[in-house]
Each structure stands twice: as C-alpha cells, then as structure tokens.
Structure 1
Amino acid sequence: MPAKARYRDFCRIAPDVPVYAQAWYLDACAAGGHWDVVLAHDHDRVVAALPYFYKQKGPFRYVTMPPFVKMLGPYLLPEYRGVLKKEHVLLEELLKQLPDFAAFKQNFYPTVTNWLPFYWNKYRQTTYYTYRLSGLQELARVEAGINRNIRRNLQKAQQLVRVVHDYSAQRFYELNKMSFDRQGLSMPYSWAQFERHDAALAANGARQMFFAVDEQERIHSAAYLIWDKQAAYYHLSGDDPALRDSGAGILLIWEAIRYASEVLKLDCFDFEGSMLPAVERIRVQFGAVQTPYFFVWKYNSRAFELLEKLKP
C-alpha cells in the first residue's frame, strides 16, 4: 500500500494528529504543489509520520509550508513520546526516507520538543512563538486574566455589534482581503484556494466563522476558528478598515475563546502566532502564554540557497 494511503488509515486511528497534518486537510491545501509522507514502523505498525509539502521551481524541488498550514513536522504516537531513545530511532528512520530536496523548511508543532536527530543530520533551527490559553474549562479564571484595556474594548464592542455565524465563506474572504489591502499586502491565497480549504473544514466539522454586525447590518469584523481534538486555533480574521474603531475584532477573539470552551469543550486556544509586536501585545493582554515552536530547515543545494537569498 502506498505511504499516503497508509497515512490516511493512520490518521483515522491515531488519537491526536493535529488538524494541519490530517490527510484531508493537506489534500485541500496542496494547491501549487504536492504533499507526501514518510512513515516509521514498529513490528509492521505505523507509529510515526512526517508529512511534507513540496513545490518545483525550475530544476529545484523543495519542501516548504503549504497555504493555511501553520505547523507540520514529525508526529509520534503518544506511547513513543518522552523516551529519547525511542524518539531518536523513529526520527532517524523518518529522516532516512525523505527524498532528495534542494531545501527543507517546516514549522514544527509546539508539542515537538526534540529536534536533535535533525541537528545530527545537519538541519538548523530557529525558535518562533505562538500564544496559547490553557485551562479553558475554567472559563471564569481565563476571563479574570484578561487585561483591563481588553475589557474596555469588549464592553464597547458589545454595545455596538452582535455576533452571528450565518454569513458565507465568500463574505468572510472579502473581509479577510480587506485587512491585507489596508496594509498594502498581496492576498496570499485566491478565493478558489480558500473555498476549497473552507469546504474541507466544513465537511469534517472543524471550523466556525464569526461575524460582528451592527444595527445597519454592516460587518465590522470576521474571524475563522478551526480545531482538532487538542486545541482550537484562531486561524484567520479580517476587518472593515472604516469600522475598526468599534473593537469588534477584540470581541470576536473572546467569542471564539468562549466557543472553544463551551461548545467544543476544548482546554487549549492557540492564537497561531504572531511574532509581530503589535499583535503579540494583544495576545498577552488576553492572558495567553508565549509558547515556543521550532522552525527547522536545511539547504541541500547551494544554488537554490543563493536563489532564495536573491528574492526581494
């Protein structure tokens, strides 16, 4: 059986494969490239996996992060974690099976704390940060940890807008694009890409959209929450630049946290970054804890590395 077929079966029985690494999720996000996976076994049983997404640029084939995938990297079944000898053997086995690439670049999950076999194989690592709220089943305690400035914004927004879920994915995309337009940035994905992404999440019961709407039916802000069995992720958002002063974006963050706690019954809320100072401050004001994750990379082609450095 091909590795991808075995991995699809593995995802159905493994207890905590993150949403980003689910086969159906990678299927939906692989526009512009392809995804594949290498597997490690214990007595013919799949116990570890390393999915990866690769693209072609001229003669160079390279591994990178696909659109909408914040984190990827190696996954080991729970009983194989925490014992370094076991982890090292499995990670080495995964690395041996990777095809030759001009470069390899992946963000690992925050739960992956051992990248030593990658280091032994001449990979390099940079630490990035996401921000996480834990203990969501004690929502009153989480709410008590919110900064006073955030509380004022919440109270203001609650008087100006209501939160609904029944607008379309197309409308969300338009709000999302407004935020990129306001910053003078190109939209990193097309409507067709987002539509495919949204359809996969909806089909698998793994997303909810939030819209902050005023009495004139104007949408001030929109947020897009996704989840797996371990955590909810504040995946995407957007604002109408003309209506940003209402504080609706702050309100939607809180509503997404409440949804993760009360509806999804999850214990962890992940903000999906960010490393930007202004964004980081908001995460911390919500009481989120700075949580490190690894960006692991390696260049096997000097020519491709130079080409990357010449990019504007």
Structure 2
Amino acid sequence: MPPFRLLRFSQLDLPAWDACVAGARQPVPYAHSWWLQATAGRWDALVQTEPETGRYLSVWPLPAKWRPGGRQVYQPPFTQQLGLISGGEDAPNIGSELLRLTQRYARFYTQLNEANGVPALPGQFAFEARQTYQLDLSPAYENLRAGYCADYRRRLLRHETAVAPLAVTELPDTEPLLALFQQTKGPAAGLHPRHYARLRRLLAELHRRQLLEARAVRQPETGALLAGALFVSYRSRLIYLFAAASDEGKKAAAPLLLLDEAIRRHAGTPGLILDFEGSMLPAIARFFANFGAVPVPYAALSFTSQRPWYLQWMP
C-alpha cells in the first residue's frame, strides 16, 4: 500500500480529494472540500495517493489553526464526523500514523466516522466514545410509525384529527430559522457571529448542490415560524443538520411534526438512513430514540503535546 503523506492545504489536489470522498465506502459529506471550506476554511490532511495516476486512495482531513502554544487540530462546527475516508474495500490501518501526528501538533481533537472503529492508540492519545442515532428508512411509513413511542403516536393522531392541524411546508429562506435559533438555543449553544457566517456559507453550498431540504411549521393565523429543520440528503444518508423551535412551537409538538414528515417523505427508500446527528445529551438522545432510532457509536480522539511549539515540525 502507498504510504500516507501529511500535506498542508496548499498541497492538496481538491478535485482528486472530492473524487475520493464521493467514491468512498463511508458516506461522509462533511469531508468534501466544499463542506470543509465553508466550516473550516483550510485544513491539513493525511493523504494516500496512487503513484501511477495521482488518484487519492484515502484521505483524513485535519482542520488546523495556529493558537498560542502551536498548531492545533480541531473539529469544525456543523461537522459531526471526519476521520479516515477510503475508497478501497479494505481501509488502511491509520493507527501507525497517529504517533507522527503527536510530533506535528500541539493539541489535537477529531471525531472519526462510524466506520473507522477505534485504532490502536499511542499512549499520548485519549479516546472518547460518542454516539449518534440512526433510523433505517427502508420500511414503509406505517411500519416506521409503529416503532415510535406510544406518546408520539398519540400526539400525531391527535394532531391529524384536529379541526385545523398544523402543516409542514417548505422553507425557501433559511434566515428566519437562523434568527429563531439565535433567539432560543443560540446563547446556550455558545455560537458566535462567526459560526453563523460559516453555517450560511455551508447552506449556500448545500443549496447550490441541491442537497438541502428545509422545512417549517408556521402559526396558521400569523404566519410566525414555530419550528424549522434542515436536512442534508447525501447518498445513503438523510442528515438532521439543524433545527430550532419557539416555546409555542414546542407546546404544539412542531419538532415532532417536522421529523415525522421527513420520515414519511423518505420512508420506503432502500438503504436510506436518517442520521439524527447525536446526541450525547440524554434528553435529546431520548427524543431521537422515541422515533425508533438506535444508537450508533463513533470515536473522538485527542491529545495535548508536551513538546515546545517551536519543535513541533521537527522530524
């Protein structure tokens, strides 16, 4: 197998990069160059190249930035999983590359994708078990709905038999949803203007590639936004990327309606998985599990180097 090379952003062949990600066994949209450029701007990477053609066989994006103390690898916002992306049937073992990274970076934090498992870790690395929740959308909607918790089924039935049930509609402009998030979850989520700027860049890229599904529930009389959700449709994944709801929307079960409508629209699609993107928070995890979703583990790796910053790039 060709060796891995640690490359800076200026050394990357982005068309070869995207061809590798698009053809990889792991459906990881977060690793595409346009996703990373929107959320991180620039990144280092471990790259395995076919000598005869220059084709990228495997890539591992390492978003990095300079901070006091040296260069750091970090997980960009709105980017659940990265890790090793490979087009081959047998993914190369990345464990041998990890020690080299401890010599190049002062701090390191990355979330692998679910297909990576946990490589053999040098002593400097810490491992954190994380999980997302996923729901197989291959069955018919009636079968999927039967897997909801009893309370969700009752709420949906009550909503459907109401005189004027709320409707889920397309959301042509995502700005009202971002504003609603800022008013509700924003402060607690720790998001700053730069994060919303990155999200807007990402949404523009998703919209341009026709990968974005935006849905909303509005108050019938006033048209006020009660809740909204953004989904990314990519290969065999439907990703629940971003959502917000007002207090009135939560009382009206608008988040439940948004997810149920997405499940209804995509039910019966062979091989399609709804990825809820989390969560490590118990209350949110229960919300996802109540749709019949199951936990799927993935790993986060981190270390803090003890080497002085001025020695980090020494061999």
Query: Which of the numbers 153, 156, 159 marks the counterpart of 2:155?
Result: 153
Determine if the alignment matches structure 1 residue 39 to structure 2 residue 29.
no
Structure 1 residue aligned with 2:62: 52
Structure 1 residue aligned with 2:7: none
Structure 2 residue aligned with 1:257: 263
Q: In the alignment, residue 116 of structure 2 is paired with which amino acid?
A: V
Partner Cα distance (1:266, 1:255) in 2: 19
Q: Residue 215 of structure 2: SS of its match in structure 1?
A: strand
Q: Residue 202 of structure 2: SS of its match in structure 1?
A: helix
Q: Residue 65 of structure 1: SS of its match in structure 2?
A: coil
**CA 1:11 to 1:247, structure 2 compared with 1: closer, same or farther past 3 Å?**
same
Partner Cα distance (1:265, 1:282) in 2: 24
Determine if the alignment matches structure 1 residue 222 to structure 2 residue 224.
no
On the 8 A contact 2:83/2:111 being kept in 1, the answer is: yes
Q: Residue 132 of structure 2: SS of its match in structure 1?
A: strand
1:10-51 CA-to-partner distances (Å, cap 9, x unmatched) read 3354465411111111111125xx323221135544321101
Determine if the alignment matches structure 1 residue 2 to structure 2 residue 14.
no
Name the stretch that deviates more: 96-105 or 206-215: 96-105
Partner Cα distance (1:252, 1:164) in 2: 9
Q: Residue 154 of structure 1: SS of its match in structure 2?
A: helix
Partner Cα distance (1:37, 1:302) in 2: 21
Q: In the alignment, residue 296 of structure 2 is paired with which amino acid?
A: T
Structure 2 residue aligned with 1:196: 201
Q: Residue 183 of structure 2: SS of its match in structure 1?
A: helix
Query: Which of the numbers 288, 291, 298 marks the counterpart of 2:293?
Result: 288
On the 8 A contact 1:3/1:38 being kept in 2, the answer is: no
Alignment of 1:212-251 (within 5 A): 212-216=217-221, 217-251=223-257
Deviation at 1:228, TM superposition (A): 1.7
Structure 1 residue aligned with 2:105: 101
Deviation at 1:259, TM superposition (A): 3.3
Determine if the alignment matches structure 1 residue 11 to structure 2 residue 21.
yes
Alignment of 1:103-122 (within 5 A): 103-116=107-120, 119-120=121-122, 122=124
Q: In the alignment, residue 2 of structure 1 is paired with which amino acid?
A: Q
Name the stretch that deviates more: 147-156 or 289-298: 147-156
**CA 1:211 to 1:157, structure 2 compared with 1: closer, same or farther past 3 Å?**
farther
Q: Residue 101 of structure 1: SS of its match in structure 2?
A: coil
Structure 1 residue aligned with 2:284: 279
Determine if the alignment matches structure 1 residue 27 to structure 2 residue 37.
yes
CA RMSD in angstroms comes to: 2.7
Instruction: Figure out how many residues of one structure are paired with residues of the other and give that number.
Output: 292
**CA 1:49 to 1:196, structure 2 compared with 1: closer, same or farther past 3 Å?**
same
Deviation at 1:254, TM superposition (A): 1.2
Structure 2 residue aligned with 1:69: 79
Deviation at 1:135, TM superposition (A): 4.3
Question: TM-score scaled to structure 1, two decimals?
Answer: 0.83
On the 8 A contact 2:118/2:299 being kept in 1, the answer is: no
On the 8 A contact 1:176/1:236 being kept in 2, the answer is: no
Partner Cα distance (1:98, 1:17) in 2: 28
Deviation at 1:52, TM superposition (A): 1.4
Unaligned runs of 5+ in 1: 82-86, 305-312
Q: In the alignment, residue 113 of structure 1 is paired with which amino acid?
A: G
Structure 2 residue aligned with 1:84: none
What is the aligned-residue identity percentage?
A: 22
Deviation at 1:77, TM superposition (A): 1.8
Deviation at 1:164, TM superposition (A): 0.8
Q: In the alignment, residue 228 of structure 1 is paired with which amino acid?
A: Y
Deviation at 1:125, TM superposition (A): 0.9
Partner Cα distance (2:307, 2:100) in 1: 21
1:88-121 CA-to-partner distances (Å, cap 9, x unmatched) read 2x553586478711111111111221422xx047
Structure 1 residue aligned with 2:191: 187
On the 8 A contact 1:133/1:289 being kept in 2, the answer is: yes
| Structure number having the greater helix percentage | 1
**CA 1:94 to 1:124, structure 2 compared with 1: closer, same or farther past 3 Å?**
closer
Partner Cα distance (1:114, 1:26) in 2: 23
Partner Cα distance (1:145, 1:39) in 2: 42
Q: Residue 67 of structure 1: SS of its match in structure 2?
A: coil
Q: In the alignment, residue 287 of structure 1 is paired with which amino acid?
A: G
On the 8 A contact 2:39/2:76 being kept in 1, the answer is: yes
Question: TM-score scaled to structure 2, two decimals?
Answer: 0.82
